Amino acid sequence: MLSVSINEVNSLCGLLIITSLLVIETKKARWSAMFYSFQSLVLVLIFLSLAVLMQANQLYLWAASAFVTKAVLVPLILYRALSRVEEAEMPKNAMSPVVALLIAAASVAVSFIVVDQIQIKAVAPFKPALAISVAHFFFGVLCILTQRNIFKQVLGVCLMENGAHLTLALLAYNAPELVEVGVATDALFAVLIMVTLGGQIYRTLHTLDSSDLTTLKG
C-alpha cells in the first residue's frame, strides 16, 4: 500500500509556487509552456497524493483529467501558438525576478491570513496546502495584471486556474463528477479561445504587447 504524508502534499504545493516563478520568468516563451506542463504534472501528483491520503477515489479521476487537459493539451496548444511567433517580437518581461519573488511571497503571506479564517474540520491538516493554492490563484491574477505579453497573460490565467483547481480538490473533492468535468472543460476552452484571439491579434495588429492595445479609451 502506497503511503503518503500530509507534509509531502504540503511540500508538493510549495513546488507549485516555484514552478509558477519559472513559467513567468523564463525568457523563452516556448519554455514557459513546458514549465507549465511540468507544473501541471506536480498538480497531478498532488491530486494522486490527496486521493491516497483522504481515500477519495474521485480524485484519481481528477488526476487523470488534469493530466490530459493541463499537462498535455493546454501546453500543446500554447506551444503551437508560440511557435508561430518570432522570439524577437515577444515583449520583454514586465516583472523582474526579484519583484516576482516578492509578489509570490506576499501572495502566500496574505493567503495564509485569509485561510486561517476557514474553520472546516476536514481541511485543518491541509491549511498550508490550501493557503498555497489560494496564493497561486492570486499570483496568476498578478501575472495577468503586470505582464504585457498577451501569451504570458494566458499563462497567468492558467496559473490562476491551477490554483483554483487545487482549492477545488481540497475543499470540494466529493462534489459530483460532472462538476469537475464542467470546471476542467471551461478551463480548457478558456485557453483555447484566448490563444485563438491572441493569434488573431498578432496577425491583425502585429503585436503581442497588451500595452499596444489602446484604441479604445474613455
- Residues at the site binding another protein, with contacts judged by CB under 8 A: 114, 117-123, 134, 137, 140-141, 144, 150, 153, 157, 160-161, 164, 167-168, 171-172, 174-176, 178-179, 182-183, 185-186, 189-190, 193-194, 197-198, 200-201, 204-205, 210, 213, 215-216, 218
Q: Cα 18 from chain centroid?
A: 12
Q: What is the DSSP letter of 197?
A: H
Q: Which residues of 60-213 form beta strands (DSSP E)? A: none
Nearer Cβ to another protein (3/57)? 57
Integer Cα distance of 38 and 5 in angstroms: 22
Nearer Cβ to another protein (18/179)? 179
Q: Min. distance of Cβ 106 from another protein in angstroms?
A: 18
Integer Cα distance of 144 and 154 in angstroms: 8
Nearer Cβ to another protein (5/200)? 200
Nearer Cβ to another protein (3/62)? 62
Closest CA to 82 of 24, 152, 162, 158: 152
Report whether 17 contacts 135 (CB < 8 A). yes
Nearer Cβ to another protein (98/113)? 113
Q: Min. distance of Cβ 3 from another protein in angstroms?
A: 26
Q: Min. distance of Cβ 216 from another protein in angstroms?
A: 4
Q: Min. distance of Cβ 137 from another protein in angstroms?
A: 6
Q: What angle do CA 151, 141, 36 make, to 5 degrees?
A: 50
Integer Cα distance of 88 and 151 in angstroms: 14
